[in-house]
Structure 1
Amino acid sequence: MLCIFILAIAFHGVPGFVNIPAIHPTNLSALSAPFSMDLNFDQPMVMLMVYCMSDLSTLETGNHLSCWQLIKHTVVPYIWSIPFIFIPGYLSGFILFDPYLTNILWIWIIHNFFLVCMAEEVFFRGCLQRAIQNGLTCYGVHNGLWAVILTSFLFGIVHFKGGFIYMGLAAIAGFVYGYVYYKTGKVVCAMIVHFGVNLLHFLLFTYPMAMAK
């Protein structure tokens, strides 16, 4: 029931929230498809619900790693994610190399980290991936990578509005975020990698996708 309610919030299906338009439909570059953005205050409710029900510390898997190990298991997967995500996206024509700076960068950063990456990682990695891993363990499956794969598949599905290519790219990215959480046990590490991938996309490629030919 909690997961259904959280998904309803993610798709803005719960009434009572006023999401403020921050960026009206516009083309960020000549090659980019139209982009718009609302400040969705319903999505952070996911984090608030988890916090009120328990404590955000319960999202941690208990891995006792040194600071250097946490950095390594965050930075290395992020570096590897760049070719695995952006090369297929480029070859498929979904994105094009199109570096640019825009005056909306600051509001995009605030929105993407606090209202997108944090909410999605708390739910998909901290709640869903952990629940799947615990469930598989009950059936004798102790390899946490299966939970990473299943969660990344679900992560790709919920991005269906962008089409099949976007779903595939989101699933690949979701695997990276899930792997980081699997190795570090820290949701914040998955958040950082998630935001890093999105920021690279925003700065160096057509955002949110290339203009349809």
Structure 2
Amino acid sequence: MWGVLSASLFFLPFNRLIASVILAAAIGMGVYHHVLTPLGLACLAFPAVAVWLHHQYRQQRIIRLAAEIFLVAYSVALFYHLIPGFNNPLMVVKDKVGPLSSLYSMYYNFDKALVPFLLFVCLPTLFNAGFADRKVGSRAWIILVLCVPALLLLAVLLGGLKIELHMPQWILAFLMANLFFVAMAEEALFRGYLQQRIRQWLGAYPALIITALLFGAAHIAGGMLMVAFATLAGVIYGLAWMWSGRLWVPILFHFGLNLVHLMFFTYPFYQQP
């Protein structure tokens, strides 16, 4: 089921019809395996109606705007697991990847994986904004890539992390979940939709800063150090989107940072012995 759901997300930027057919299969499998309950399936009827209204009345601005606002709000609710009826399975249960690492648990989040589908309806340029900053050369991109380990080393200096190498046995499950159910979902919301919309209203750099701050605030549960770390990471991801205009670039930056964090640093945090 999770491979099918990942495949639907993989095809989404290239062919919405194929992605939708595969998603329907994943939803059916989710119902069969009780990951999606009848209540959860019923709750999906509301965004389905909003999607229909957005498409059917796309020439009527008020209806289209109302449908978009509802779909974005519903996406945020899915992001924070506020929609009932989803039994997201726990794949890693309070594991310590190393002696200095804190306990870590990992879910496979069916609800969060639906976010890119809803936002793609709202914004057809979600995955490809149709621009690229030609003034940004290879040197700037190299510096941006180096900012990923630099940010993690900064967290070490601030005491939030320690260098600790490990290769957990559940890394393959982590790779799929983190790429499709975390990085893709979060980047679709923050860079693909929010930064792109705010850029249309306020310009490129205000959009970059505002979105990074919102991304940091979304990690408030991890404490203020995590908020600061996520805000700086949001600047990196935001620049990657702003310079390329393509969502897959910040997705790979986000995924790469999380993978480097897991393999070379205490994960998710440093815990004093």
Q: TM-score, normalised by structure 2?
A: 0.69
Deviation at 1:106, TM superposition (A): 0.6
2:200 aligned residue (115, 130, 134): 134
Unpaired runs of 5+ in structure 1? 137-141
**Alignment match, 2:80:** 11
**Alignment match, 1:39:** 108
Q: Secondary structure at 2:111's aligned position in 1? A: coil
Query: Is structure 2 residue 121 aligned with structure 1 residue 61?
Result: no
Aligned residue pairs, count: 203
Contact 2:132-2:243 within 8 A present in 1 as well: no
**Alignment match, 2:264:** 204
- The aligned amino acid for 2:174 is W
Distance 1:70 1:191 in 2: 20
Unpaired runs of 5+ in structure 2? 1-68
Distance 1:72 1:117 in 2: 25
Distance 1:91 1:118 in 2: 29
Distance 1:64 1:208 in 2: 34
- The aligned amino acid for 2:120 is Y
The structure whose RCO (Cα within 8 Å, separation 6+) is larger is 1
- The aligned amino acid for 1:42 is D
2:156 aligned residue (67, 87, 90): 90
| Identity, % of aligned positions | 28
- The aligned amino acid for 1:63 is F
Judged with a 3 Å threshold, the aligned counterparts in structure 2 of structure 1 residues 49 and 3 are, in CA distance, closer, same or farther, namely: closer
Deviation at 1:76, TM superposition (A): 4.0
Structure-to-structure mapping, 1:76-155, within 5 angstroms: 76-83=143-150, 85-136=151-202, 142=203, 144-155=204-215
Contact 2:166-2:263 within 8 A present in 1 as well: yes
- The aligned amino acid for 2:94 is P
Judged with a 3 Å threshold, the aligned counterparts in structure 2 of structure 1 residues 65 and 174 are, in CA distance, closer, same or farther, namely: closer
What are the superposed Cα offsets for residues 119-167 of structure 1, whole Å, 9 maximum, x if unpaired? 011110010001111111xxxxx4x122111100000000011100011
- The aligned amino acid for 1:108 is F
Judged with a 3 Å threshold, the aligned counterparts in structure 2 of structure 1 residues 54 and 86 are, in CA distance, closer, same or farther, namely: closer
Q: Secondary structure at 1:23's aligned position in 2? A: strand
Distance 1:147 1:95 in 2: 29
What are the superposed Cα offsets for residues 191-212 of structure 1, whole Å, 9 maximum, x if unpaired? 0111111110000000000114
**Alignment match, 1:139:** none
Query: Is structure 2 residue 217 aligned with structure 1 residue 157?
Result: yes
Q: Secondary structure at 2:86's aligned position in 1? A: coil
Contact 1:74-1:190 within 8 A present in 2 as well: no
Distance 2:137 2:126 in 1: 18
- The aligned amino acid for 1:34 is L
Judged with a 3 Å threshold, the aligned counterparts in structure 2 of structure 1 residues 178 and 54 are, in CA distance, closer, same or farther, namely: closer
Contact 2:72-2:119 within 8 A present in 1 as well: no
Judged with a 3 Å threshold, the aligned counterparts in structure 2 of structure 1 residues 126 and 38 are, in CA distance, closer, same or farther, namely: same
What are the superposed Cα offsets for residues 39-96 of structure 1, whole Å, 9 maximum, x if unpaired? 01100111111234454x4442212579xx898765541223321x113210121110
1:24 aligned residue (79, 82, 93): 93
Judged with a 3 Å threshold, the aligned counterparts in structure 2 of structure 1 residues 75 and 45 are, in CA distance, closer, same or farther, namely: farther
Contact 2:88-2:107 within 8 A present in 1 as well: yes
- CA radius of gyration, larger in: 2
